[in-house]
């Protein structure tokens, strides 16, 4: 009886502590969201999307049009580089290289690479693509973002493909299918929604990144989408505007932060919804 009582108390304490921690975490998240929401909506003006940056002393002029486009362009180029590499790399790990020790090592390293601080990757891109060229440039930013999404996509692709039962592959082999056909027509098809979700979540992860862009594509106040030069960036603009002493710039930073938060939230929710729908099948 005593023992039972003790266990009940321990259970109660553990549950309370766990709930408390969860509550603190959630509360912080909601405070951030609430702040961004209130401040952001308050400062949201249409000109944020239609005008390019203006000097801070001019009221009611200026926006971040070029920064939205620049950020979008960087994310797009990063995806064009990172998604095919990631999907094909993950495919190799799950299929052709599944018996190789080196591939297990690559998987483990990819898991570690997911948690490398993004500023370190930014520094790396600076060293290989900015320093030799002598100028901040969009390519370096896109490559930095691509490096961040690469291990995420490699690992989700590998995991999703490994989850496809071997019997299904064998059934295709038994019909005389060559390996590449088995992969493209059976395994990819079975794992498609999972891989797609992984890609979506990876893109959501970098869509709001600032650190890897700081030393690479940096920022520009002009409407310029040439990747050989510094490219306007929303996140870097937020960083600069928020730290500025000008009230209208700070307001614009809030508004931009609000927009990008909603966007990333939307991408994430979409990813989860796809996973949920898939699980229901």
Residue 124 and residue 147 in contact, taking contact as beta carbons nearer than 8 Å: yes
- CB 101 → another protein: shortest distance, Å? 12
Does residue 273 belong to the site contacting another protein (CB under 8 A)?
Answer: no
Q: What is the 3-state secondary structure (H, E, C) of 117-160?
A: CHHHHHHHHHHHHHCCCCCCCHHHHHHHHHHHHHHHHHHHHHHH
Q: Which of 178, 245, 276, 280 binds another protein (CB under 8 A)?
A: 178
- CB 193 → another protein: shortest distance, Å? 10
Does residue 177 belong to the site contacting another protein (CB under 8 A)?
Answer: yes
Does residue 102 belong to the site contacting another protein (CB under 8 A)?
Answer: no
Stretch that binds another protein, among 170-178, 237-245, 253-261, 269-277 (CB under 8 A): 170-178
Residues 183 to 212 in contact with another protein, rule: CB under 8 A: 185-186, 189-190
Stretch that binds another protein, among 35-43, 128-136, 173-181, 243-251 (CB under 8 A): 173-181
6 vs 180, which CB is nearer to another protein? Answer: 180
Stretch that binds another protein, among 25-33, 61-69, 152-160, 182-190 (CB under 8 A): 182-190
Residue 187 and residue 124 in contact, taking contact as beta carbons nearer than 8 Å: no
Q: Which of 60, 134, 167, 245 binds another protein (CB under 8 A)?
A: 167
d(CA 218, CA 71): 11
Q: Which of 60, 115, 174, 245 binds another protein (CB under 8 A)?
A: 174
Q: Which of 176, 245, 279, 280 binds another protein (CB under 8 A)?
A: 176
Does residue 272 belong to the site contacting another protein (CB under 8 A)?
Answer: no
- CB 151 → another protein: shortest distance, Å? 27
Does residue 276 belong to the site contacting another protein (CB under 8 A)?
Answer: no
d(CA 61, CA 51): 8
Helix orientation angle between 247-280 and 234-242, rounded to the nearest 10 degrees:
140
Does residue 59 belong to the site contacting another protein (CB under 8 A)?
Answer: no
Q: In degrees rounded to 5, what are phi and psi of residue 228?
A: -80, -5
What sections of the chain are H helices per DSSP?
2-43, 47-50, 65-94, 101-114, 118-125, 138-162, 166-174, 179-181, 188-207, 211-214, 234-242, 247-280
Does residue 280 belong to the site contacting another protein (CB under 8 A)?
Answer: no
Q: What is the DSSP letter of 163?
A: T
Binding residue count for another protein, defined by CB under 8 A: 18
264 vs 275, which CB is nearer to another protein? Answer: 275
* Residue bearing tokens 């390519």: 139
Q: What is the DSSP letter of 58?
A: S
- Cβ neighbors of 169 (< 8 A, separation 6 or more) are 182, 186, 187
Return residues touching another protein (CB under 8 A).
Answer: 99, 165, 167-168, 170-178, 181, 185-186, 189-190
């Amino acid at each position: 009886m005593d023992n039972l009582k003790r266990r009940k108390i321990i259970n109660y304490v553990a549950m309370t502590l766990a709930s408390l921690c969860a509550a603190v975490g959630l509360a912080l998240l909601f405070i951030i969201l609430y702040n961004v929401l209130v401040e952001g909506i308050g400062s949201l003006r249409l000109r944020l999307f239609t005008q390019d940056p203006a000097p801070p002393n001019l009221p009611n002029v200026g926006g971040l049009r070029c920064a939205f486009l620049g950020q979008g362009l960087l994310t797009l180029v990063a995806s064009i580089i990172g998604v095919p590499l990631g999907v094909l790399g993950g495919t190799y790990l799950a299929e052709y290289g599944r018996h190789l020790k080196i591939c297990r090592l690559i998987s483990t390293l990819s898991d570690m690479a997911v948690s490398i601080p993004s500023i370190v990757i930014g520094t790396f891109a600076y060293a290989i693509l900015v320093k030799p060229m002598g100028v901040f440039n969009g390519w370096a930013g896109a490559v930095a973002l691509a490096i961040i999404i690469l291990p995420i996509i490699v690992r989700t692709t590998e995991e999703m493909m490994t989850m496809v039962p071997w019997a299904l592959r064998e059934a295709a082999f038994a019909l005389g299918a060559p390996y590449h056909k088995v992969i493209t027509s059976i395994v990819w098809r079975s794992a498609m929604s999972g891989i797609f979700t992984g890609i979506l979540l990876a893109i959501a992860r970098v869509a709001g990144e600032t650190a890897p862009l700081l030393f690479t594509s940096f920022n520009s106040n002009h409407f310029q989408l040439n990747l050989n030069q510094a490219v306007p960036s929303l996140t870097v603009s937020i960083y600069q505007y928020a730290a500025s002493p000008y009230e209208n710039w700070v307001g614009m930073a809030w508004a931009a932060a609000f927009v990008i938060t909603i966007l990333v939230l939307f991408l994430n929710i979409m990813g989860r919804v796809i996973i949920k729908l898939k699980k229901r099948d």
